[in-house]
Every structure is written in structure tokens, then in C-alpha cells.
Amino acid sequence: MARVLINLPARAKRGEVIEIKTLIAHVMETGYRLGPTGVAIPRDIIQRFVCTYNGEKVFGAELYPAIAANPFIAFFTVATESGEIAFSWTDDRGQTQTEVRQITVE
Amino acid sequence: MRALLLAVIAAAAGATAVAAEIAPADRRSGYDFAGPESREMQDDDAANPGMLGVLQGETLWATPAGTAGRSCADCHGDARAGMKGVAGRYPVFEPVLGRPLDLEMRINRCRTEHQGAAPFAWESEDLLALTVFVSHQSRGQAIAPGDGAELRPFVDLGSALFRRRQGQLNLSCSRCHDDNWGKRLAGAVIPQAHPTGYPVYRLEWQSLGSLQRRLRNCMIGVRAEPYEYGAPEAVALELYLMKRARGMPLETPAVRP
């Protein structure tokens, strides 16, 4: 896996509700399609998305084959303290992509 | 007398063909025909999946390639300055080959001529990424293809191909995109076919795709034999479409249904 776009404010006020938008490049192959030779293309989707805020899970999602390629996931959380927001996507091949962003809370 | 009559008929036929072209004030980008969700997706860089291609292209721009060991940036510098407005001028005439090249072909030519690298395959992720990165630098800039005399025969060819009926459905591009835009073909609105946001992220494809892929798509739709990637006819059509859309702002990467 590779390319990821994450959009969140670099700074926020304590207690403020912030929106986080994530976009990851992934084929999200359903497993239901047949290739040119008539052989089924093996399923390859992101199964799980988790967002942790200073180690605590604040958002998670399970993904299924009907979700389009390059999944866009947006959600809200409360800015509690400065620190790290980590994002991880795990796919059918067992690969996990992890990205970390910093947030400053005043 | 008979010759004169024929001449009058020919002139009248010529006049209707010209009248069919969309007036500059009525021209609209595919963006205006897209649904509100697609437009919202295009407008938000954090949600536009085409931006993943731009991100990849930015990396490729700075990555040395080929036997020369040079990156795009080594010659062209910062793309933000150097590539601004470039995409709106393509396809451009290449004197060495004696024919116009589109942006994808120019990138591949740069690879083979200056980097000593193998060309990227058509519609490969890398070629689309570099093309979308370069085109993105011209977002908001007007489409301004060259109007040199050397390009004229190719524009004329593109214009003729645009008007030529073809395929089992016996349709020309012009029949739908000049005469019947805004109406529906089955469930889909027929746009005016202005290449304002290529490479586009097409939701149907679930990926980025080039203008040539889009042209092939339409040709398969009318049950015609599509042009090969890089065929002179395909580039002539691209050139004519850019001429037809001159002055319209680029939106790359556009999101289309």
C-alpha cells in the first residue's frame, strides 16, 4: 500500500470538535470479478480502519467489498490534548499502513 | 446553372456544419453536468481521489530515472513554477517527428530522449500520475493551444474526424456533443465534450484515465473500432477538442461520473 491523504487541523482549541478526512489509494478488488481469461480476480480489500488519539481508539470502521476503490473516510472527534493521531488500514494481504499526524491543542 | 446550384447546396451544407459548433458563451464544462456529489468531491482536495495521483506524480517528478540518472526536476526545476500553464497548450507540434504530441507522449519522449529510460505503458499508474501532476499545475489557467500553421492540418483532421459518422450506430462525435448536449443518452446527461480536467478521475473506472481512454470509450460506445493509443487520429482529435475548448479553465484532476 502506499499513497495516503490525511486532512486535519494542525491546531485546535481544547474541547473543539474537529473533522478528520482520510483518503487512501487501494484497488478494493471485490473478488467477484473475472479476469480476461475467465479466472476470478482474488479479493483484495481493506478490511479494517482504526484511528487512535494518543493511543486511545477514537474511531474504527470495517470495510466490505461493495466499497469503491480509494476509500474516503471522514469522521469527527474532540480535541482533548496535544499529541499524536495515528491512522491504520489493514487489507486482505495482512499488510497494515500506518500514518501519524501531530495536533496541537491550546 | 447546375454547377451553380451544386455550389449553393455545398455552401449551405458547409454553413450548417459551422453553425452546429457551440457558441463560446454557451460552452460548459463537464463539471456543470455532473451531480452535486461529484462536484463536491472534485472541489475538496482532501476528498478528490485524483489528488492521490498528483501526490504520486510529485514523488515521480523528483525521482531520478534511466541511464542518465536524471529526474524531471533536474531539468525542469520546481513544477509549480515551470509547469504552470503548460497542460493547456498541449498537444504541441514536435518538429522532429513532424506531428503533434499530447502530454503523455511528451512525458514518454522525455523519458526515452533525455532520461534514457523505458517509456511508461499507456494508462499505467505512473504515466497517469506524472501527467496529472503536471496538468494540475495549470488548474484555473485557460486552455490555450498553439495556432501555428504547422498544426493546422492536424486540427482540420481532428475536426473532420469529430464530424465523421462511424460505428454500427452511425454516430459522429458532433451529433451528440454539438447537436444534443444537455439531453440524455439512456440515464446519462450528454456533456459538450470539453477536455477541461484530464486526466480525470472517473467514478465508473474507479481510477484516473487519460483523454485517449475516454475517446476510446466513446468509440466503443458507438460500436466503432477505437484508435490505438498514440494513433495520429487520436492526437488530432485531442488537438481539435482543445481548440474547441480554448479559453475554458482547466480543472485537473476533475471528477466525473
pLDDT value of residue B91: 96
Interface mutation target, options B38, B42, B54, B55, chain A, most CBs of A under 10 Å: B55
Q: Are strands A17-24 and A72-78 parallel, antiparallel or unpaired?
A: antiparallel
- Of B136, B156, B183, the residue at which a domain comes to its end is B136
Cell (9 digits) for B81: 513554477
* Whether residue B173 is found in the same domain as residue B238: yes
Choose the final residue of a domain: B101, B120, B136: B136
Residue that terminates a domain, selected from B102, B136, B170: B136
| The one-letter amino acid at B162 | F
Per residue in A26-53, pLDDT (tens digit) is 999 999 999 999 999 999 999 999 999 9
Cα of B19 vs its chain's centroid, Å: 23
Angle in degrees, CA B21, B24, B28, rounded to 5: 90
A21/B52 Cβ within 8 A: no
Same domain flag for B85 and B185: no
CATH number, domain at B189?
Answer: 1.10.760.10
Amino acid at B78: D
Does residue B159 belong to any structural domain of this protein? Answer: yes
Residues of B with a known catalytic role: 218
Q: Does B121 touch chain A (CB under 8 A)?
A: no
Interface probe for A, chosen from B52, B56, B59, B132 (most Cβ of A below 10 Å), is B52
Cell digits of residue B113: 530522449
- pLDDT, residue B3, reads 53
- Tell me which residues of chain B have a pLDDT lower than 70: 1-20
Is the residue at B55 inside a domain?
A: yes
Predicted confidence at residue B187, as pLDDT, reads 87
Please tell me whether residues B69 and B30 are part of one structural domain. no
Are residues B102 and B69 part of one domain? yes
What pLDDT, on a 0 to 100 scale, did the predictor assign at position B16?
44
Q: Is residue B9 part of a domain?
A: no
How many other CB atoms sit within 10 Å of the CB of residue B111? 21
Nearest in space to B29 (alpha carbons), one of B192, B255, B240: B192
Percentage of the residues of chain A whose pLDDT score is greater than 70: 99
- B174 and B112 in one domain? no
Kindly provide the ipTM of the predicted complex, given to two decimals.
0.90
Residues B157 and B73 in one domain: no
* Spatial distance between the Cα atoms of A27 and A71, rounded to a whole number of angstroms: 9
Q: Which of A25, A69, A72 sits opposite B47 (nearest CB)?
A: A72
Nearest to B33 by CA among B185, B189, B217: B189
B251: containing domain: 22-35+142-256
In a domain, B43, yes or no: no
In what side-by-side order are the strands of the sheet with B207-209?
B207-209, B200-202, B255-256
Global confidence as pTM: 0.90
**Domain co-membership, B116 together with B206:** no
Q: Tens digit of pLDDT for each residue in B48-85?
A: 999 999 999 999 999 999 999 999 999 999 999 999 99
Q: Which domains does chain A have, with CATH numbers?
A: 4-105 (2.60.40.10)
Q: Check whether residue B29 and residue B154 sit in a common domain.
A: yes
Percent of chain A with pLDDT over 90: 97
Relative to beta strand B184-185, strand B99-101 is unpaired
> Domain count of chain B?
2
Residue B7 lies in a domain: no
With 0-12 CB in 10 A as exposed, 13-18 as middle and 19+ as buried, what is B50?
Answer: buried
Interface contact flag, B49 A74, Cβ < 8 Å: no
Same domain, B155 and B90: no
CB distance B46–A23 less than 8 Å?
yes
Burial (Cβ within 10 Å: 0-12, 13-18, ≥19) of residue B84:
middle
- Shared domain check, B155 and B72: no
Instruction: Kindly state whether residue B5 falls inside one of the protein's structural domains.
Output: no
